[in-house]
Amino acid sequence: MENRKLVSCLISVAVFAVVAILVVPCVWAICYFGVYIGYGNYKVRGHQDFAANGVSQVESAAQMDATFDDCRHYISYGPNDFPLFNSVAYFGDRYELTMQVPVQIDSATSGHTVGEPKFYLNEIASVAISPTGEISVSFARNLDFDATEWAQVYDGRGDFGKIGFAVNATPVANFQKYADASRPSN
């Protein structure tokens, strides 16, 4: 009889150990994927909507829209996952102008800048397309500048010569394919 109690006790301990081994990872997975990642997505909910709706609240983005025909907007994340409003304009069949500014996003339609915009102008030298359709780009020159210099370009209706950058008017083959493959249009 005592052997039965001992065997029963050992079986109970073994079942408890197996259940504990299975339950702990399951509880961890539910907490991690359900709470942590879900909360992470909650923090950025509406950010890409703000990129489309908030152009009027980001002055330099509205100016880029007014200056260039192909201007796209999206949110990326900088240090400490701080949201950055991005505007990217493709123009002259060889140039890509990116503006980034830190933003505080309150909702899908409301937010404001919390820093100064920075601008990055890249001149594309060539665009190659592989037989599999992959696009590779070579850059010729680049220019980084601030809001003061952007104001001169904007007042000059997109004339980068106002800040000492001569624009090359020669188109680059496949430039439009590169632009189309870049961030999606809004």
| Residue 36 pLDDT | 46
pLDDT tier at 38, thresholds 50, 70, 90: very low
**Statement: residue 155 has pLDDT above 50:** yes
| Region 88-107 average pLDDT | 94
- Phi, psi values for residue 157, rounded to 5°: 55, 45
- Between 37 and 62, residue with greater pLDDT: 62
- Between 138 and 16, residue with greater pLDDT: 138
pTM of the model: 0.75
